[in-house]
Amino acid sequence: MEKTLTENVLEAVKTLYGKEADPSKIQVQETRKDFRGDLTVVVFPLLRYSGKLPEQTAEELGEYIRENNAQIGNYNVIKGFLNLEISNAAILDTFNKLIKHDPGFTSADHSNDYTTLVEYSSPNTNKPLHLGHIRNNLLGYSLARILSTCGHKVYKTNIVNDRGIHICKTMLAWKLYGKGSTPAETGVKGDHFVGDYYVRFEKEYRKEINELKSQGLSQEEAAERSSLMSQARELLRKWETGDKETVDLWKRMNEWVYEGFDTTYNALGVDFDKIYFESETYKPGREIVRKGLDDGVFYKKDDGSVWVDLSSDGLDEKLLLRADGTAVYMTQDLGTAVLRYKDYTFDHQYYVVGNEQDYHFQVLKIILGKLGYEWSEGIHHFSYGMVNLPEGKMKSREGKVVDADELINTMLSTAADMSGELGKLNDYTGEEKKSVYRKIGLGALKYFILKVDPRKNMMFNPAESIDFNGNTGPFIQYSYARIKSVMRKAADMGLVPADDTDGIELNAKERSLVNILRAFDTLIISAADELNPAIIANYVYELSKEFNQFYHDFSILGEENNMVRMFRLALTEYTGKVIGKAMWLLGIDMPERM
């Protein structure tokens, strides 16, 4: 409808004022709820063509559109805004078309043949997943579903940071303080077990530094004299030269971590099509850098380190290989990007990584371009803001984080308590209740994270997320469960939703619901274009809120007019389908009862 109205306005300007309007100046938007109408044309940008006052221009455009567009029933003018009312017949026609198909177009309907990679999670093997990882995983997983719905052939990938000095710090701490213990012996989940030794290293290292400083050394001198750091660097050297004992310990501890990660991913409901490991990608990256050096793209300093000069791109110099030949993060990201292109020949690759890495990915794209990889134009940084706590930023080294596993368990426990108070699952078995609690708890967590524009920093407060009222996941799930209850009762009464609703005179709430429903496909495209699942999240909240107002104001199954009852039943059923599809795009499972 918006596209048709834009064409109507262009025709009106040409007919009424004899001028060709710039299509980019045509603004069609939803009418504000405090005004009568469905769609509004902003007239102010068109005054240059009419040469008249806003109200007069709006009146002339409104009259022209009403006469030339049978879908417009009436219009009104408020200053420089032309509010158009879609006719009852046009809204019913729209609804009849909607209910013929499931909501949310499929790739067959909207194919663009893009092969798209979405990288998310990117954990380190020296610590368990935390709240920041949860936002990362949920954004990446939802983005993959949104892009897939828009016709992309999507592959979900992960890159695990399983090498480097931080890994060696953890290995050293276990060797010094672990006494040969294992996760199985201690009953501690593998990633937590290993992460505790990373925190232990940092604790012992700070203690050592403070002791050295008490002897009169500066911070820099103390760091240089640190025995712990020296031992960690030696472990890194041994690992990079393939020392069997060191590599065996590295493999063993990483396996503990991977088992823990898998448990968390399963609990969170996310997965991957392929996992890459930096221990495998840094070597190809190093060869890419060496070839770039031979080709004159990079240069070597006197100490043997390899750099790229980005001053012509408005940036600075960037280190690619250290003087001892070891790789930096950029080196392994170059290797990972090239390996992925060989694996998938992608059109687009989205890196779901926090905004503190904006510069890194800007540099990565430039370097790949300098190396002659034309496909580098297709890589994009999906930059998102940090998750903060009421008490401030999380600090992994100090163990001051919101642990992902603990948070998930807390959400499930809170969901169980709140659902139990409602008492609507009393006839469910224990396993059935557990399944519903999981859907509610995780739904609350996921929705709370995803309803925020990803580009913004956010404050996380678990208590706010699981409320059954307001803009929360449980409120939307409850609306969905209410719809399912209506449909079950209708089936018991032998009632079937109408498949043709011609002749029904819609009330204001029914009109509003249909207008919200028809916007769904367009919003999916917007969410994909803007890389913003929050568009879907806030849409489904508005839809749920509007349905609940309709449900309270009008009878559905008790309506005496059979045609109206069948229409309202069809409207209810389709609203449930859209809510379910929207929440699926967010990776949220929906309970049939709550």
Residue 63, domain CATH: 3.30.1360.70
pTM of the complete model: 0.90
Tokens of 21: 């309007």
Instruction: Tell me, yes or no, whether 480 and 557 share the same domain.
Output: yes
Cβ-Cβ contacts under 8 Å for 481 (sequence gap 6 or more): 590, 591, 592, 593, 594
Instruction: Tell me, yes or no, whether 223 and 324 share the same domain.
Output: no
486 occurs within a structural domain = yes
Query: Over the chain (594 residues), what is each successive 10-residue block's mean pLDDT?
Result: 89 93 90 89 93 94 93 91 93 92 66 87 93 96 96 96 93 96 96 95 96 94 95 92 96 97 96 96 94 95 95 94 87 96 97 96 96 96 88 50 88 85 78 92 94 92 75 95 97 91 89 94 94 97 97 95 95 98 98 89
Residue 318 phi, psi dihedral angles, 5° rounding: -130, 125
Strand order across the beta sheet in which 379-384 lies: 274-277, 153-160, 115-119, 348-354, 379-384
48/67 Cα distance (integer angstroms): 23
Instruction: Tell me, yes or no, whether 382 and 531 share the same domain.
Output: no
Instruction: Tell me, yes or no, whether 420 and 350 share the same domain.
Output: no
- pLDDT at residue 391, as a whole number: 61
Element (H, E) at 77: strand 72-78
516 occurs within a structural domain = yes
Cβ-Cβ contacts under 8 Å for 580 (sequence gap 6 or more): 480, 590
CATH code of the domain containing 452: 1.10.730.10
Q: What is the 3-state secondary structure (H, E, C) of 137-199?
A: HHHHHHHHHHHHHCCCEEEEEEEEECCCHHHHHHHHHHHHHCCCCCHHHHCCCHHHHHHHHHH
12 occurs within a structural domain = yes
Domain-terminating residue out of 366, 382, 402? 402
Instruction: Tell me, yes or no, whether 366 and 436 share the same domain.
Output: no
CATH code of the domain containing 321: 3.40.50.620
Instruction: Tell me, yes or no, whether 445 and 518 share the same domain.
Output: yes
Tokens of 44: 């102010």
468/175 Cα distance (integer angstroms): 49
CB half-sphere exposure, 84, CA atoms < 13 A = 33
Instruction: Tell me, yes or no, whether 350 and 428 share the same domain.
Output: no
Instruction: Tell me, yes or no, whether 245 and 310 share the same domain.
Output: no
CB contact burial 213-248 (16+ within 10 A = b; e otherwise): eeeeeeeeebeeebebbebbeebbebbbeeeeebee
Cβ-Cβ contacts under 8 Å for 446 (sequence gap 6 or more): 138, 473, 586, 587, 588
Structural domain of residue 467, as residue ranges?
A: 404-585
Calculate the alpha carbon distances from 128 to 142, 217, 502 in Å.
22, 35, 58
465 occurs within a structural domain = yes
Q: Residue 138: which of 466, 384, 410 has the closest Cα?
A: 384
- pLDDT at residue 125, as a whole number: 94
111 occurs within a structural domain = no
159/140 Cα distance (integer angstroms): 13
- Which DSSP string do the residues of 560-586 spell out, in sequence order? SSHHHHHHHHHHHHHHHHHHHHHHHHT
- pLDDT at residue 535, as a whole number: 98
Cβ-Cβ contacts under 8 Å for 529 (sequence gap 6 or more): none
418/472 Cα distance (integer angstroms): 14
Instruction: Tell me, yes or no, whether 422 and 532 share the same domain.
Output: yes
Calculate the alpha carbon distances from 175 to 232, 249, 329 in Å.
11, 9, 26
Element (H, E) at 406: helix 404-422
124 occurs within a structural domain = no
Domains identified in the chain, total number: 4
Tokens of 220: 């820099």
Q: How many CB atoms lie within 10 A of CB 163?
A: 24
Instruction: Tell me, yes or no, whether 335 and 214 share the same domain.
Output: no
The answer to whether 249 and 125 are in contact (CB under 8 A) is: no
Angle of the 430-450 helix axis to the 404-422 helix axis, nearest 10: 120
- pLDDT at residue 400, as a whole number: 58
Domain-terminating residue out of 346, 379, 402? 402
- pLDDT at residue 447, as a whole number: 96
Tokens of 120: 């998310």
444/442 Cα distance (integer angstroms): 5
Q: How many CB atoms lie within 10 A of CB 511?
A: 17
Q: How many CB atoms lie within 10 A of CB 68?
A: 12
What single-letter DSSP state applies at residue 226? -
Greatest CA span in the chain, whole angstroms? 91
Element (H, E) at 27: strand 27-30
104 occurs within a structural domain = no
Instruction: Tell me, yes or no, whether 264 and 329 share the same domain.
Output: no
Q: Residue 539: which of 105, 37, 81, 30 has the closest Cα?
A: 30
Q: Residue 7: which of 64, 58, 53 has the closest Cα?
A: 64
Domain-terminating residue out of 269, 301, 328? 269
Sign of the Cα torsion 510, 516, 520, 521 reads positive
140 occurs within a structural domain = no
Residue with tokens 């240059």: 48
- pLDDT at residue 427, as a whole number: 81
Instruction: Tell me, yes or no, whether 388 and 438 share the same domain.
Output: no
- pLDDT at residue 107, as a whole number: 45
